[in-house]
Amino acid sequence: MPLIEARDVYGGYGGMNILNGVDMSLEADEVGVIVGPNGAGKSTLLKAVFGLLHVNQGDILLHGKPIQNLPPHQLVERGMGFVPQEKNVFPSLTVQENLEMGAFLKPQNVKRMLGQVYEFFPPLQEKRHQPAGELSGGQRQMVAMGRALMAEPSLLLLDEPTAGLSPLYMNEIFDRVKHINAAGVGILMVEQNAKQALAIADKGFVLAAGQNRFTDTGAALLADPDVAKSFLGG
């Protein structure tokens, strides 16, 4: 049974569909990457999975159970973590408090998970008493991912985790994503840096105009000349 599956999903804002029949499926322990041109509906798909926008038609299944249009906090309870692209930390809370908020529904986990998150992101440990708003962009991304991991999700959704980061931090973040995945967390992310993202992807979904254009393994998509020509800038 796939970890997460979207079947022929239509959805959008205010009755207008941005997604026009998208299919997506990811096994546990896999990294899935959604790429495509601007306006293709990449982030929209991610938000639809996390219940942040209305699904008008089709099914979204987590562990085989339909979850479309459930409120976000119920999805967190069911093992989903979401890292938005922007405004993804609580700026006036300290790093540690940010992380604690991630485990709001599982307070008994806080101690154990804090240790794990600090293992994934060592820089956060020394800054743990600093307000998250004072951190650099890359460190803030780490706080955001750490916060989502605190709830021990089986699936982590990342919306453009490397947007606006320097190449150095970008590699660091991709590296962390691989580590997290190796620890048994399924990952579904939207990325602008398609080549690097597909390089670590088990599955890639190329979207255009709210529909699937290509779906394959990351390596296969990278090797596909059509994909390269249309979507990866040659």
- The reply on whether position 69 binds another protein by CB under 8 A is no
From 82-90, 134-142, 205-213, 218-226, give the range in contact with another protein by CB under 8 A. Answer: 82-90
Pattern of binders to another protein over 159-198, x per CB under 8 A? Answer: ----------------------------------------
- The reply on whether position 208 binds another protein by CB under 8 A is no
Q: Which is nearer to another protein, 22 or 103 (CB)?
A: 103
From 1-9, 34-42, 72-80, 171-179, give the range in contact with another protein by CB under 8 A. Answer: 72-80
Please pick, from the candidates 28, 101, 220, 228, the single residue that binds another protein as defined by CB under 8 A: 101
- The reply on whether position 97 binds another protein by CB under 8 A is yes
Q: Which is nearer to another protein, 1 or 16 (CB)?
A: 16
Q: Which is nearer to another protein, 18 or 76 (CB)?
A: 76
Residue 148 to residue 50: CA distance in whole angstroms: 13
